[in-house]
């Protein structure tokens, strides 16, 4: 077992860290206040070729793999949760195309998604459910050689940015969920106002309205009536990015807590002398370390495992654990800061608000445990 990163992975990690420190950290507060990621940041990430990092070179990627993606995403999340959030949902959609796309679909979407010109979205959740494929009500009715899609998708990330969107709808022929690849802003596609949420304000969610959206049969992604495997695989790859995002937030919480403990005066020294503070910081460090290696391992599995079901189980376990640790770490970090940790001016307050989002999205934590428990008890 080799825990050492390759030279290429070290380079990617360093480049992402330097970019994030120089270009994202200084505007992190602004991003959260204004609810917008400056275009220059996305442009800079594109120049670093981060949007296609995990995909084969033949489709415009760099072929560096998921571990490289995780290393970059972690560094970006250390600077700001909104940017890593957007980066991660882009991979949720793009991974589905890379895994299930026909050669034509890959050729059409991956080069522009890989260059960052397009940001991909993935739309499963609906007003009635975010967890149960049987309950989705978006429908795709076969009409000649086309499908006509109608429905509403809820809380969809990046749906307001140009690019492909993977839409899950029940198709009229099989009655089962099928995945469709749709161009955002095609006729019949529109989005709601931005939802006002607790954190990652720069990575916005909107509802998507699909009114008689007409797509050719060639827009079906994966086998017809087999949307569930596409959903499971897409969301499992998506969890790799979610874990990297949580990890970056945790690392930032650790650094902020150490800095604060060493600076905050108490009588003739600082609060760093207190055993309670030392224990809190040690607990944060333990969780960061455990989550880092679990996340890197999940990325390694994404690069090396062909068995999607086995990967999905590992992704579910890792995501549930890492997301929960993210919340624990954020709470401990706020504790180290006392009431200052609750103030908007302090980064740990943002980390706290962002952390809880990872617990509830791309599979609620307890639902992940149902996947794991079910697989173990089969």
Nearer to ligand FAD by Cβ, of 212 and 366: the residue is: 366
Region of 100-108, 152-160, 226-234, 297-305 interacting with ligand FAD (CB under 6 A): 152-160
Where in 168-197 is the site for ligand FAD (CB under 6 A)? 197
Pick 93 or 101: Cβ nearer ligand FAD:
93
CA distances from 146 to 140, 180, 185, 201, 218 (A): 9, 11, 18, 37, 8
Backbone angles phi, psi at 155, to 5 degrees: 55, 45
Residue 124 and residue 165 in contact, taking contact as beta carbons nearer than 8 Å: no
Q: Which residue is nearest to ligand FAD (CB)?
A: 130
Catalytic residue among 32, 49, 324, 362: 362
Four-point Cα dihedral 367, 371, 373, 377, nearest 10: 150
Rule CB under 6 A: is residue 123 a binding residue for ligand FAD?
A: yes
Strand partners, 169: 178
**Residue in 101, 130, 177, 326 binding ligand FAD, rule: CB under 6 A:** 130
User: Cβ closer to ligand FAD: 197 or 297?
Assistant: 197
Q: Rounded to the nearest whole angstrom, what is the least distance from the CB of residue 154 to ligand FAD in the complex? A: 7
Closest CA to 231 of 129, 93, 110, 135: 93
Cα first-last separation, the chain:
30
Instruction: State how far the Cα of 279 lies from the Cα of 316, in Å rounded to an integer.
Output: 29
Site string for ligand FAD, 8-47 (x = CB under 6 A): ----------------------------------------
Other CB atoms within 10 Å distance of the CB of residue 30: 14
Give me the residue label for tokens 């609060």: 271
Rounded to an integer, what distance in angstroms lies between the CA atom of residue 196 and that of residue 138?
24
Give yes or no for residue 157 binding ligand FAD (CB under 6 A): yes
Helix (H) or strand (E) holding 157: strand 146-157
Count the residues of the shown chain that bind ligand FAD, applying the rule CB under 6 A. 23
- Single out the residue of 37, 362, 371, 372 in contact with ligand FAD (rule: CB under 6 A): 362
CB of 103 to ligand FAD, least distance (A): 26
Q: Is 205 in the site for ligand FAD (CB under 6 A)?
A: yes
The answer to whether 227 contacts ligand FAD (rule: CB under 6 A) is no
Please, which residue, 232 or 254, has the CB nearer to ligand FAD?
Answer: 232
Other beta carbons less than 10 A from residue 103's beta carbon: 9
Q: What is the DSSP string of 195-246?
A: P--SS-TTS-EEEEEEEEEEEEGGGEESSTT-HHHHHHHHHHHHHHHHHHHH
32 included as an active-site residue: no
Closer to ligand FAD by Cβ: residue 158 or 301? 158
Active-site residue numbers?
362
**Contact residues for ligand FAD, defined by CB under 6 A:** 89, 121-125, 129-132, 155-157, 197, 205, 357, 360-364, 366-367
């Amino acid at each position: 077992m080799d825990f050492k990163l390759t030279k290429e992975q070290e380079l990617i990690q360093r480049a992402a860290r330097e970019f994030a420190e120089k270009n994202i950290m200084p505007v992190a507060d602004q991003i959260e206040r204004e609810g917008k990621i400056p275009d220059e940041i996305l442009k800079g990430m594109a120049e670093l070729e981060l949007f296609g990092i995990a995909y084969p070179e033949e489709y415009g990627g760099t072929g560096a793999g998921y571990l490289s993606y995780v290393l970059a995403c972690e560094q970006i999340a250390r600077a700001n949760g909104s940017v890593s959030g957007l980066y991660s949902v882009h991979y949720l959609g793009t991974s589905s195309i890379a895994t299930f796309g026909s050669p034509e679909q890959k050729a059409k979407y991956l080069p522009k998604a890989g260059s960052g010109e397009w940001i991909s979205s993935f739309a499963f959740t609906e007003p009635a459910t975010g967890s149960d494929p049987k309950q989705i009500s978006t429908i795709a009715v076969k009409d000649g050689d086309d499908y006509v899609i109608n429905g509403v998708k809820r809380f969809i990330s990046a749906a307001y940015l140009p690019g492909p969107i993977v839409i899950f709808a029940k198709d009229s022929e099989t009655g089962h969920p099928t995945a469709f690849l749709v161009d955002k802003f095609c006729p019949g596609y529109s989005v709601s106002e931005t939802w006002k949420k607790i954190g990652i304000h720069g990575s916005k969610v909107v509802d998507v309205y699909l009114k008689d959206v007409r797509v050719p049969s060639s827009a079906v992604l994966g086998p017809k009536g087999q949307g569930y495997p596409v959903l499971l695989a897409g969301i499992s790859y998506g969890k790799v990015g979610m874990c990297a995002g949580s990890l970056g937030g945790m690392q930032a919480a650790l650094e902020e807590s150490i800095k604060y403990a060493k600076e905050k005066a108490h009588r003739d020294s600082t609060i760093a002398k207190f055993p309670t503070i030392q224990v809190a910081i040690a607990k944060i460090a333990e969780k960061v370390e455990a989550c880092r290696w679990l996340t890197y391992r999940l990325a390694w599995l994404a690069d090396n495992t062909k068995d999607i079901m086995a990967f999905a189980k590992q992704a579910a376990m890792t995501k549930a654990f890492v997301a929960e640790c993210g919340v624990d770490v954020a709470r401990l970090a706020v504790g180290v800061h006392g009431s200052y940790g609750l103030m908007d001016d302090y980064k740990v307050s943002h980390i706290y608000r962002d952390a809880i989002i990872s617990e509830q999205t791309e599979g609620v934590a307890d639902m992940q445990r149902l996947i794991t428990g079910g697989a173990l008890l089969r």
